Amino acid sequence: MRAAGRRAVCPGSFDPVTNGHLDIVERAASLFDEVVVAVGVNQSKRRLFSADERMAMLTRAVGHLPNVRVEGFSGLLTTFCTERDIHAIVKGLRAVSDFDYELQMAQMNSSLSSVETVFVPTSPEWSFLASSLVKEVASYGGDVSALVPDFVNDALVARLRDA
């Protein structure tokens, strides 16, 4: 069932986007009228891919979803939501280990504004998947082509070869 006229955000670093992220975005897109994928562009963190590269990869990866758009964000997620009249944050939960921190963030965000957090259980096939692990495996020459879109795999191989 789709909530009428409702907008949600799927926030993250997406360094790089994985099939696990896309699973959550696709399911958010089926629940809400509009979904904004918000790519954190915080300068302080070291990233493999620049904000522009991460946003370009995501834009390509969600191209088949007409009600999804990609934006960069810095600062507080709740400010981003308030400015766009977004009342729901959609987050994937892979395992119990995700829950503590995600619950803490959800409660902090709801104390800052009226935004609700909606947790979506990650599909079992992607429950072990994290961008950090994908990068680590790829950096040692492991094959991650089943875990990310083809063009992300190509970008990973090229970036790690040049590093």
Catalytic center residues? 21, 45, 94, 131
Structure tokens at 157: 């191989």
Query: Contacting ligand PNS (CB under 6 A), which of 93, 105, 118, 133?
Result: 105
Q: Give the residue nearest to ligand PNS (CB).
A: 12
Please report how close the Cβ of residue 86 comes to ligand PNS at its closest, in angstroms.
Answer: 13
Query: Contacting ligand PNS (CB under 6 A), which of 11, 16, 20, 149?
Result: 11
Interaction of residue 122 with ligand PNS, rule CB under 6 A: no
Please report how close the Cβ of residue 13 comes to ligand PNS at its closest, in angstroms.
Answer: 4
Neighbours of 76 (CB within 10 A): 13
Interaction of residue 19 with ligand PNS, rule CB under 6 A: no
In the region spanning residues 21 to 80, those forming contacts with ligand PNS, defined by CB under 6 A, are: 40, 76-77
Residues lying near ligand PNS in the complex (CB under 6 A): 11-13, 40, 76-77, 105, 108-109
